[in-house]
Structure formats: structure tokens, C-alpha cells
A = this chain, B = another copy of it.
Amino acid sequence: MTLSQPDSSQPEVTAPIFLAQARRHQTDTVPVWFMRQAGRALPEYRAIRGTGSILEAVQKPELAAEITLQPVRRYGVDAAVLYSDIIVPVNAIDFGVEIRPGRGPIVEHPIRSESDMKRFRALDPMSDMPYVIETIKLLKPELSVPLIGFAGAPFTVASYLIEGGPSKNFERTKALMFQEPELWDRIMSALSQLATEFLTAQLEAGVDAVQLFDSWAGALSPRHYRELVLPYTRRVFESIERFAVPRIHFGVGTSALISDMVDAPVEVLGLDWRVPISKATEQTRGQVALQGNLDPAICLSNWSTIETEARQILKEASTAPGFIFNLGHGVLPETDPGLLSDLVQFIHSQGRDLISANTEGN
């Protein structure tokens, strides 16, 4: 990874380290944040979260802002991530979706035919989801680190709307994809548009970077991904080009999709633990910064295991052109937050040691 060397003639870097590594610029240590860092692993979250689904909680800007701030205070991470959900914009246009605790997004009337397309409409952020804008506005003056906004990628959101909920085999989504290409195009176009509107609203309100979650893209063969999914995802990334902020593209189980996923205009590729960062660096030929990839299940283990694994990841990331430490998927609710604090400290200090080592080697 690109680390500044104290004795080099490079000018001091003043950008936050998260944004700098995302742009493949030098920093003095390795930045860290955690997917789903704001959430049930934190006692302070459970204390204020209250009842009701996340779709209700995000509609309370003071609550959502406080939840976003909690992990920044607790862990000392290098980025905040807006407390939100990939289903927020679908809910905001009243498509008919809810989130049931322990189950995930549920769509009572899943998409079955062309007539369901009437349930899509353009998102007007100010009237449909003023709370998102308001939360970002509340957060910005409070934050000393960059704020990450996010959206669900068209395929992942489509899978919920077509299956009616979380799915194991994505049978209906794939059936529609192959048998009804025109309807598939309409759904994916509508969801690209929605993701664009959702990200644009967050960017205009002030987020400093965005991540597009195509969490379930790994269920597809590379050819189907390339032909039937990537064109729509690319459209979303292209449409926010003008904001000139780092764009992160993330999916789970995407070892076979790496070269395709960076064939969209992105600055950072987020990976899970199934692929070593060193291998991803080769496959992406230094075109993008990489983010990841500690298995969240390892964070349920003891410190000694976590340290060994984190050290290994830093080693594998040493050739990456830019690197942001993260988990390979969201923080599991049973995680001990003390271990995540220790992990952030470890990555920061280990990152500095790496520089010393590099310098001594000169």
C-alpha cells in the first residue's frame, strides 16, 4: 500500500487517511472502518435504538445521527457510515417493503409482471426522505472523519423485490432475468435510477464517499454478471462521477467477479475474506484501491486470533496501490466491541510500523 515515508521529500498529506488511501495517495498509517459498525454490537446502540424497524429509526434524524456517531467515538475508526439501509429509497417511494427484525427486507407483493413497474416512480429526496438529508446535515459539523453514504446496487435490491425477501438460490430473480429480458431491463433501469437519485441526494447533502452494496452479486456466473448486471451498476457509478468522491464497489463471494467489478468506474473495490488482497491486487492490476477483508466470524474469536489474522491481511495488502482495512462483511451482532477497538488501534500502530520498516529498508 502507499504509505508516506517520513524522510522522503513528499509534502505532508493533510487529507483524511480514508479518503487519501481510497485515491491511492500516501498516508502515514492504514485507515479502518467497519461495515455495519453502527449497530447491535454496541451497548450504546441497543440503549437508544428503541423498537420498530430500521426504516422507522432512520426517519428520526437526531437518533440516526447519534447512531452514526457512536462507532466513531467508540472505535476511533477513520470514517463514519450513515446509519441507513439499502431499502430506504424503495421504501421512500412507497413501493411496499418493510424490514422484519431477524428476517430482513420483506416485500408483500413481489414483482411478478410489467404491471408492477407502475409502483416505481422518481425519488424526490426533499419530500420523500427529508430525514436522510437532515441526518447528514446534523452529522457534518459533528464529524472529524469523512462520512460514507451508500446504496444497494440494482441486482441486490432487485433480488429482494422479485423474491419477496432474502433468498438462498435467487430462483425467481434468475428466472425473470433469463425469461423476461425486457422486464429485467425495466426493473434494473428503474433501480439504477433509484440508486443514482439516492446517492446523489446523499452527496449533495455532504457525504464524502459512497459505497454501492451488490451484496448478492456473487450468486451469479461471471458471464451473467457481466451481461445482465454490470451495465446497470456501471450506470450508477457513472452518474455520480461529477461529485469526484471515492466510489466503493462491494459484494460478497465475488472472487470470480473481480475483474468485471472494476470494469465500472470505481476508486475502491471492497472484498470479502474469500480472496487474499494480494491476489486481488494482481487481478485489478493496481487500477483501484482495495478494501477488506477480515472474516467477521473471526471477530467472535479471541484477540490473539484476531491479531494473527489482521497481521496477515496487512501483509497481503502491502502491494496494494491503496488499502482500507475493513471486515469482509458487516459486524456480527454478537461481536465484543472491545475487540474492535483493539483492532482499530492495532491496524493504526501496525500501519505506522510498516512505514518504519519500509524506511529502514531504504
Contact = CB atoms under 8 A, between A and B. Distances in A.
B300 A222 contact: no
Contact of A305 (B178, B221, B256, B276): B178
Contact of A255 (B169, B175, B256, B298): B256
A41 interface: no
B174 A298 contact: yes
What number of copies of this chain does the assembly contain? 2
B297 A169 contact: yes
Interface of A: 169-171, 174-175, 178-179, 218, 220-223, 253, 255-256, 273-276, 279, 295-298, 300-302, 305, 312, 332, 334
A174 B276 contact: no
A222 B175 contact: no
A295 to B, nearest CB: 7
Contacts of A179: 301-302, 305
Contact of A256 (B220, B223, B274, B297): B274
Query: What are the nearest 3 A-B pairs in CB distance?
Result: A255-B256, A174-B297, A255-B255
A292 B332 CA distance: 34
Given A297-B169, A297-B170, A273 B221 contact: yes
A174 B300 contact: yes
Contacts of A171: 297, 300, 332, 334
A169 B221 contact: no
Q: Which of A218, A220, A276, A298 has the most CB of B within 10 A?
A: A298
B169 A253 contact: no
Nearest to A329: B169
Q: Which of A218, A297, A312, A334 has the most CB of B within 10 A?
A: A297
Given A171-B334, A256-B274, 14 more contacts: A169-B296, A171-B300, A171-B332, A175-B300, A178-B298, A178-B301, A178-B302, A221-B273, A221-B295, A222-B274, A222-B276, A253-B253, A255-B256, A256-B275
